[in-house]
Each structure stands twice: as structure tokens, then as C-alpha cells.
Amino acid sequence: MFAPIAEAAGWIYRAVFNLLEWPMLAIQRLTGPQRIAWVFLLPNLVIFGAFTFLPIILSFFYATTGSDNILLADRPYVGFQNFSVLLNCENYLDPNSCQRDLFWRAIHNTGWFVVLQVGFMILFSLITALVLNQNIPFRGFFRSVFFYPVLLSPVVVALIWKWVLQRFGVLNAALEGSGLPTVNWLLEADWAFFWIIFVSIWAHMGFYVLILLAGLQSIPSDVYEAAEMDGASKWRTFSRITLPLLMPTMAVVVVLSLIRAVQAFDEIFVLTGGGPGSATLLVLQFIYETGFAVQPRIYGIAAAASILMAVVLLVLTLLQLRVTRNQAEGGST
């Protein structure tokens, strides 16, 4: 059944690329066989330029201009006013004392979210990877069990849990059935915050399990055999062999998950919409709402908040590069 499809695909492939043969040959005559590399690079560079490099420069113009016009020519220069509005706080630990209290609430929420989500996710990912690293039957199947939610779209993930957690949902029914009190999970601030952490761990854990599992499997088995011969206890083997040898992988996992957590948005936006109140409002949702959802659209504030977030991400990414380099070097020691 697949053979004719593959044949047809191959035919289309040859036809399309053959069609470009003559124009590309003409270009090659002009550029010579070396400088044609730039022609191959061109499409990518145009897209990069238009949608990555140019916007980076533009974002500084937005952050230093005011009004709700999207066109830069119509925006008056305001200097660092947008930043000072965002950073104007009597006490940074108390969002209510800030001029933009929602921004600071979002920062507080994001801070807690990052710490708790990354912390627990890595703990559970590590336990899972260790369990799956054993010689158990159906290992491939169990690996897929953990990985499956990673593939689901954030909207689907949020709707699945919304259905489970709703007031008259299956979780409350199960609690009531066993005589426990029921809770309106997504409408009580603390519980809503618990569930956004839980759901985002549920959705992303499988990815980190895979990476940690790959790390565990790269530990040579003769190290364990030697430890066993020396009569090392299981706990000692874990703390003195597995954990140190896994550290480079761990570091990558920590930094990757930190970068993701700082930018968390999709599932949470659909699951709680930032509510109740602003209990689960995170920084990216603040940026989205300030820039696109609320009228008038305050592009300047949103761009300034983006730049502040970019600084945090930049620091984390530099950390990642450092960690990855250390890992590459550490491989030889």
C-alpha cells in the first residue's frame, strides 16, 4: 500500500527539484561554485533577518516609546519611562505597593512557579528514569507512557485537566465517594496554583525522563559491577556512582527546564486564565495581555517587560552554554 505513495512522492520530489535546476545553474555561473553557498543560505537568512534580528532591534524602540500605535513612526519617544513604570515599587516583595501591581504579582507567581515546578519535575523525572533504567519487562511501553503527554498540545492538556478538575468532575466525585471533602479546585487560589504546577509537570516530565534515561544508560555497567564486588550498598552505589556520573546530564536538564518554566504560558492560560483573580498569572501572560488582549494595547510596557524577561533568559542560557561546555569537557575526565 505504501509503495505507490513512496513512488509518487519520489516523483514529485525529483520534478520539483529538477525544475529549480536551470535557475540554480544560471546563478552558479554568476557566483562560481564557492560563493553559491550564500544562495543556499539566503532563504534562511531572510527569514532570520525579518523575524528574529529586526524584531530584536525593534523591541528596544517599542520599549522606549509610548502610546498605543503599532507603527513606530507614530510613537513618541518616552525614554526609560516604560521601565520605570514597571519597576516603580515601594517594596518589591509586596506587589500591592507597586505601580504595576499585576506585573509584580506575575513575577512573584512566576518565581514560585519556576522553583516548585522545576524542583518537583526534576525529582520525579529522576525517580522515573531510575525506575525505567532497571531491567523491567515492557520498558519501551512504560517509557512511552511517560512521554505521551509531551506530544499533546497545551490546549488539549489544559482541557483534559479542566474536565477532571471541574466542580462536578471525576476527582470531586471520587473524593466524595470516599467520604472526603470536595474542593472547587481551579477557583481556590492555592489549589489553582498547585494544579498549574502539577499539570505542567504532567505535561513535560516525559521529555526530561528521556534525557535522564539516556544519561543513565551512558554510565558504563562495569562501574556498577566493580561497586558490587566491593560490597557497596545500593544507597551508596546510588549516591557515590550514579548521582555524580549523572550530574552533567542533570545540569542540562535543570537549565533547560528553567528556561521553559520562565516562559510558561499555554496550558496555564487555557486552564485557569491566570485566575482566580491573578493567583496564577505568569509573566508571559502579563505581556500577552498588555500587548494584545486588553484595549488599549500598551505595546511599550509589554516590550519593556519582554526585555526584562529576555535578560533573565539570557542569563539562564549563558548558564546553559557554560554547563554544556563543562559537560563536553567533563566527558574526558
Partner 1 sequence: MSLGFLTRTRGRGRFDITDWLTWIYLFTAIFLMFGPVLWVVLSSFKTEAALQEYPPTLLPLAPITVSVEGYEEPLQLFRVIAGEHEGKVLAQVRRIGLMSQMVDPANPAEKLQVNINDRVPEREFALALENYTALFDRFNFGLYFWNSAFITVVATIITVLFNSMAAFALSKYQFRGRTIVFVLIIATLMIPPTINLIPIYLVVAELGLVNSPWGVIWPAVATPTGVFLLRQYMLTIPDDLLDAARMDHASEWKVYWRIVLPLSAPALAVLVIFSVMWRWNEFLWPLIVLSRSENFTLQLALNSFQGELQTAWSNLLAMTILTLLPITLVFAVLQKYVTTGIASSGVK
Site for partner 1 in 103-122 (CB under 8 A): none
Kindly identify the residues of this chain, within the stretch 79-108, that bind partner 1 according to CB under 8 A: none
**Rounded Cα gap, residues 265 and 200, in angstroms:** 10
- Residue 150 in contact with partner 1, rule: CB under 8 A: yes
Return the number of the residue (20 or 180) whose C-beta is nearest partner 1: 20
Using the minimum distance from each CB to partner 1, give the nearer residue, 81 or 263: 263
Q: Using an 8 Å Cβ cutoff, are 164 and 171 in contact?
A: yes
What does 18-37 look like in DSSP terms, one character per residue?
HHTHHHHHHHHHHHHHHHHH
**Nearest in space to 279 (alpha carbons), one of 113, 144, 92:** 113
Residues sharing a CB contact under 8 Å with residue 298, sequence separation 6 or more, in sequence order: 68, 290, 291
Question: Please, which residue, 49 or 97, has the CB nearer to partner 1?
Answer: 49
Tell which one of 4, 43, 296, 331 touches partner 1 (CB under 8 A): 43
Q: Rule CB under 8 A: choose which of 101, 189, 266, 276 binds partner 1.
A: 266
| Residue the block writes with cell 539570557 | 314
- Judged by CB under 8 A, the stretch of 53-61, 95-103, 108-116, 185-193 that binds partner 1 is 53-61
251 scored as a contact of partner 1 (CB under 8 A): no
Does 319 interact with partner 1 (rule: CB under 8 A)? no
Distance CA 198, CA 286 (A): 21
Q: How far is the CB of 226 from partner 1 (least distance, A)?
A: 13
Least Å from the CB of residue 94 to partner 1: 26
Interaction between residue 299 and partner 1 (CB under 8 A): yes
- Whether the Cβ atoms of residue 192 and residue 280 lie closer than 8 Å to each other: yes
Binding residues for partner 1 restricted to 168-187, rule: CB under 8 A: 168, 170, 173, 176-177
| Nearer CB in complex with partner 1: 90/181 | 181
Q: Choose which of 28, 84, 88, 99 interacts with partner 1 (CB under 8 A).
A: 28
Interacting residue with partner 1 among 200, 278, 306, 323 (CB under 8 A): 306
Please name the residues in contact with 66: beta carbons below 8 A apart, sequence gap of 6 or more: 75, 76, 78, 81, 82, 300
Q: How far does the chain reach from its first CA to its final CA, in angstroms?
A: 52
Q: For the CB of residue 4, give the shortest distance to partner 1 in the complex, in Å.
A: 19
Question: Which of 149, 193, 250, 282 forms a contact with partner 1 (CB under 8 A)?
Answer: 149
Number of residues that bind partner 1 (CB under 8 A): 105
CB of 273 to partner 1, least distance (A): 8
Question: Is 295 among the residues that bind partner 1 (CB under 8 A)?
Answer: no
**Residue of 78, 188, 224, 245 that binds partner 1 (CB under 8 A):** 224
125 binds partner 1 (CB under 8 A): no
Using alpha carbons, list the distances in angstroms from residue 16 to 9, 19, 44, 210, 333. 11, 5, 19, 38, 50
State which of residues 87, 102, 116, 152 lies at the interface with partner 1 (CB under 8 A).
152
Closer of 98 and 246 to partner 1 (Cβ): 246
Q: Give every CB contact of residue 12 below 8 A, 6+ residues apart in sequence.
A: none
**Residue 294 lies near partner 1 (rule: CB under 8 A):** no
C-alpha cell at 322: 557554560
By CB under 8 A, residue 245 contacts partner 1: no
Q: Is the peptide bond before 296 cis (omega within 30 degrees of 0)?
A: yes
φ, ψ of residue 65 in degrees (nearest 5): -125, 160
Measured CA to CA, the distance from residue 89 to residue 74 in angstroms comes to: 30
Q: How far apart are CA 227 and CA 230, in angstroms?
A: 5
